[in-house]
Amino acid sequence: MSTITGNSKKLILIIGATGAQGIAVINKLLAPGEDGSPSPYSVRALTRNPEHARAKDLASRGVEIAQGRFDDFKAVAAALQGVYGAFVNTDSFTVSEEKEVWSGIRIFELAKQAGVKHYVWSSLEYVSKLTNYNPEYRCLHYDGKGRVADFMQAQPSVVSDSGMTWSTITSGPYMDMLNIYTFGPIKRRADGTFVFATPVGKGHVPMIALSDFGHFARYTFDNRALTSGKDLKIGSDWVGWDYLVSTFIKVTGQKAEVVNQSLDDWFDNYEGVDQPVSNEGTGAEHVSWKTNFTGWWSMYRDDVIKRDWEWIRKVNPNGYTLETWMRANNYGEGSGQMLLKNIEDGHRVTLNQARIAQL
C-alpha cells in the first residue's frame, strides 16, 4: 500500500468509496482546481469487493483500492496508514444502527492513532436529540450518524503537524433521488400527466445534488483551519412538492401534478415495506423500512430540518438549484442515472402496481 512519502499530493482515504456519495467526493478531489491547476489530492478507496464494477472503474482512474469493510477494524487501520485525510461515510443500510455508531467512533480513534491530519465524517441530523427524543421523528440512519457527530463534538480538533483536525458534513437526501420513485414521478397517466406522490404535505426537503456534495467535501479539505471542529450543514435547494412540480413543468413542458397522501397511503404504493431497513439485520429494535421512513418523512413534513442558505450560496456560488439541476441532467427525458449502490445491488422495495394504477 503506497503512502504520501515522496509524493507531493495529499492522500485521502475514502470509506464508502463506491457509494453515490463516495464517487461524488472522489470526482471533486481528483478534479483540477478552478484555475486549471492539478489536484493536490490522490485517493485510496476502501471497498468490500475490489471486483465490483464501481471499484474497477475507480481503479481505472488511478484510485488505489484497499479491500475491507468499514466494520473490519484491522482492514480500516491498515488503510489509514500514510494518509493525510480521511472521508468517512458508513452505510447504515448495510449494517445495524448499533454497529454503525460503534464503527464511527472506532474509526475516529483509529484515525488519530494513524496520524491522520484531517478527518471528515459524513453526517446526518441527530433528529431524535433535535426533537427532544420525540418518537414521531425517530429515523435510524439519521440518528446513527448524528450520534457519532455528537461524540466528535466532545473531541479536540487540532490544526498542527502533529494533531488531527476533524470536521463533519451534515447533508440530506440527494437531489439525484428524483430519478427514483421516492422523489420522482411514480407513474405517467394515459393523458401524459406525470404523477408525483408524496406524504411531505407543505414541508420541504433540503436536497443536495451529489456534485454539490463533492464540492463541499473538497472545500472542507481545502480549508482545514477554517473548517476545524465545524459542522457544515449543506444543501442545494429547499424543495417543497408544489415547487418541485411547477419546476418540472417549466423545465420539461410536460403535464404533472402532486398527489398528496397520508403516510400510510404513501407506503401502500410499495411492496416490501415491512422488511428490515438494514440488509444485515436491524439491531436490537428490529425496525422495518416503513417505520424508519415514517420518521424520515415526518421530519421533512414538519420542517424540522433547517439550513442557512445564505452561507451555502456563499461557499458554493455555482451550486445547483432544482431548476438548473433538472436542465443539466435533461430531467424528464429518461436519461437520469440513479447512483444509490444499495438499490443497484438489489436491496429495494418495489412498486405495488395495483395500487399505482389507481393514482
Return the pLDDT at 2.
37
Residue 276 has pLDDT above 90, yes or no: no
- For residues 81 and 214, membership in a common domain is answered with yes
Q: What is the pLDDT of residue 281?
A: 64
What's the sign of the alpha-carbon dihedral 95, 99, 104, 108?
negative
What is the residue range of 249's domain? 175-204+236-305+318-356
310 occurs within a structural domain: no
CATH number of residue 344's parent domain: 3.90.25
- Give residue 94's pLDDT: 83
User: Would you say residue 5 lies in a domain?
Assistant: no
pLDDT digits (tens, 9 = 90+) for 9-49: 999 999 999 999 999 999 999 999 888 999 999 999 999 99
Residues 29 and 160 in one domain: yes
Domain count, the chain: 2
The pLDDT score that the predictor gives to residue 334 is 54
Average pLDDT over residues 278-292: 78
**pLDDT at residue 284 in the model:** 60
Using CA atoms, how far apart are residues 6 and 3, in angstroms rounded to an integer? 8
169 shares its domain with 179: no
pLDDT band with cut points at 50, 70 and 90 for residue 333: low
* pTM of structure: 0.93
- Choice among 5-9, 237-241, 265-269, 337-341 with the minimum mean pLDDT: 337-341
pLDDT band at 134 (very low <50, low <70, confident <90, very high): very high
Comparing 136-140, 193-197, 352-356, the range with the smallest average pLDDT is 352-356
Same domain assignment for residues 274 and 128: no
Mean pLDDT throughout 56-75?
A: 96
Does one domain contain both 169 and 242? Answer: no
Q: What is the average pLDDT value for the chain, to the nearest integer?
A: 92
Q: Per-residue confidence at 285, pLDDT binned at 50, 70, 90? A: low
* Within a domain: 1: no
Domain CATH for 37: 3.40.50.720
Residue 4: inside a domain, yes or no?
no
Residue 39 placed within a domain: yes
Q: Domain check: are 142 and 43 in the same one?
A: yes
User: Is 265 a member of any domain?
Assistant: yes
pLDDT at 340 over 90: no
**pLDDT tier for residue 342 given thresholds of 50, 70 and 90:** very low
Are 35 and 96 part of one and the same domain?
Answer: yes
- Say how far apart CA 174 and CA 200 lie, in whole Å: 16
pLDDT value at position 96?
Answer: 85
Tell whether 3 is covered by a domain.
no
pLDDT > 70? residue 265: yes
Q: Who has greater pLDDT, 150 or 283? A: 150
106, part of any domain: yes
pLDDT band at 338 (very low <50, low <70, confident <90, very high): very low
36 shares its domain with 162: yes
Contact between 214 and 28 under an 8 Å Cβ cutoff? The reply is: yes
Q: Which residue has the higher pLDDT, 94 or 257?
A: 257
Confidence band, pLDDT 50/70/90 cuts, at residue 336: very low
Query: Distance between CA atoms of 242 and 311, rounded to whole angstroms?
Result: 25
Same domain, yes or no: 155 and 37? yes
Q: Which pLDDT score is estimated for 337?
A: 52
Say if residue 24 is in the same domain as residue 104. Answer: yes
> Tell me, what's the pLDDT at 8?
85
Considering the domain architecture, whether residues 44 and 119 belong to the same structural domain is answered as yes
With cut-offs at 50, 70 and 90, classify the pLDDT of residue 5: very low
pLDDT per position as a tens digit, 100-120: 999 999 999 999 999 999 999
pLDDT on residue 93:
84
What's residue 166's pLDDT? 98
Q: Assess whether 57 and 194 both reside in one domain.
A: no
